[in-house]
Amino acid sequence: MKKQIILFITAIMCMSCTYSREEQVDEFRMALSVSPFTTSMFRNGYTYQVGDQTAKNLEELERIYINAGATEMFARIATKRHPTPEDESVADSNTNSHTLEQGLALCQLAARLQIPINPEIMCAYIYMDMETQQAPDFREYPEIMPLQHGKAWEELNLDEICEVLRAYGKLVATEILNTGCTVNNWNLGNEANFGFAGISIGLKTAVNPALATVDPMQRYMAPVEWMEENLWKHHAKAMNALSQGIIDAYDTLGKDHSNVKFSTHIATVVFPTEHTVSYFNCLRKNGYNLDVAGISFYPSAPSAFQNSMDLYHETVQAITEQCHLPVFIAEFSYPSGPVTGAFAGWSIPADGYDISEDGQAAIYHDVISWGKEHGVVGIRYWAADLAEGWSNMSMFRFEGKQGIAKSILLNQYK
């Protein structure tokens, strides 16, 4: 009898921690937003045509997205505080795309349009993703820099990093919230599979000096246990410190944060499902109590594993069932034609979906429709308005500098 009681209590506990899919359908986050690159597109003379509407600036384009069902905007924010001349020594295509100054401008736009915004706090100087890792740099923050006590970032131990990140979280969240915008969801890091806040494969860090000499290919072959011990458990503590700083900002400003959610997202195309599940569970086990598991999903990108849609279904179901978390697709895109340039090779058709405008619209619809029934709480179509090097992945076809909406957008536009 005692054993039966224990089993009954255990079952009740498991039921209480299982994510309820039914609750999220009416709250689906259609995060169709101007991208980090849209400002430069307008500056270079681009316009966007959707039905009988023409957008010539950020606000006009975001209003079009809202008419197409958008419920949330997005701002990716690096630690670089202000734009600088293009000849900066670390210049690349992201040098002046993700500064705090530009992020705050997007937050101000969200406040004017009365639409929530999802800030992505990268904790990298100008950029990070699955393959690119950068440490944060706080030289432009006299409020924070003294906390490093004259040390370079790579010389800080984990406790020192966490102290700085908590202060940074409070500062950046205070500036964001002071724009008057509404933030329901905060995302920490960008495709943080292999690094966060300078604790990264290939970078020097006192947290784990061995990371600096790891062969880059090791990140794709390392067992789960190695990733947990050498990377993810440290990321959990750093992310928790950053999230606590964000909460500190709400408290100081007297704002309610009882319904505020935190997430991070990873690229799943390089991870078997086992790694994905272990990643999110490791973060929670080591102190970062995230509320949403984020993934990047590009069905046409090369994958070492299986059919992309099968992997999507398997990944979402594994996260909801084994991590007891809802899933947000933080980056999604599918091509309407051959992809060239930096993303050449991302033209692999998913089973049942042509590389065409119709195929692009169909897979977007099906990913959302299936997702709503299986624990996906939202989707962000990545860089929907970007032309240069991304035009066939975007929601517009470009004739010169005029973007004309493809069916993927027209199907949603009111």
Q: How far apart are CA 347 and CA 356, in angstroms?
A: 10
3-state secondary structure (DSSP) of residue 210: helix
Q: Indicate whether 250 pLDDT > 50.
A: yes
Residue type, 360: Q
Residue bearing the bigger pLDDT, 189 or 306: 189
**For 358-368, what is the mean pLDDT?**
98
Res 89: pLDDT: 54
**For 317-330, what is the mean pLDDT?**
98
5: pLDDT confidence band, cut at 50, 70 and 90?
A: very low
3-state secondary structure (DSSP) of residue 251: helix
Give Cβ neighbours of residue 360 (< 8 Å, ≥ 6 apart): 334, 335, 336, 353, 406, 407, 408
Among 208-222, 240-254, 356-370, 385-399, name the one with the lowest average pLDDT: 208-222
Res 17: pLDDT: 42
219: pLDDT confidence band, cut at 50, 70 and 90?
A: confident
Query: Pairing between strand 195-196 and 199-200?
Result: antiparallel
Q: Indicate whether 402 pLDDT > 50.
A: yes
pTM: 0.93
pLDDT tens figures, 335-361:
999 998 889 999 999 999 999 999 999
Report the share of the chain in percent with pLDDT over 90: 82
303: pLDDT confidence band, cut at 50, 70 and 90?
A: confident
Topology of the domain comprising 2-410: TIM Barrel (3.20.20)
Q: Indicate whether 8 pLDDT > 90.
A: no
Res 216: pLDDT: 82
Res 92: pLDDT: 64
Res 37: pLDDT: 93
pLDDT tens figures, 108-150:
999 999 999 999 999 999 999 998 889 999 999 999 999 999 9
Token output for 6: 């224990």
Q: Indicate whether 6 pLDDT > 80.
A: no
**For 374-397, what is the mean pLDDT?**
97
Residue bearing the bigger pLDDT, 2 or 49: 49
Give Cβ neighbours of residue 220 (< 8 Å, ≥ 6 apart): 270, 304
Looking at 339-409, which runs of residues are DSSP E strands?
Answer: 376-381, 396-399, 402-405
Residue type, 99: T
pLDDT tens figures, 66-96:
999 999 999 999 999 999 886 555 556 678 8
Residue pair 267/330 in contact (Cβ under 8 Å)? The answer is no
Q: How far apart are CA 115 and CA 210, in angstroms?
A: 44
In order of 18, 71, 269, the CA distances from 30 in angstroms are 24, 5, 22
Q: Indicate whether 29 pLDDT > 90.
A: yes
Q: Indicate whether 195 pLDDT > 60.
A: yes
Token output for 414: 């009111």
* Number of neighbours of residue 203 by Cβ within 10 angstroms: 18
Among 77-91, 160-174, 209-223, name the one with the lowest average pLDDT: 77-91
Res 271: pLDDT: 84
* Residue-averaged pLDDT of the chain: 91
187: pLDDT confidence band, cut at 50, 70 and 90?
A: very high
Domain ranges of the chain: 2-410
Give kind and range of the element (H or E) at residue 47: strand 47-50
Token output for 139: 């030289």
Res 110: pLDDT: 98
Res 7: pLDDT: 36
Res 96: pLDDT: 87
**For 40-55, what is the mean pLDDT?**
96
Q: Indicate whether 25 pLDDT > 70.
A: no
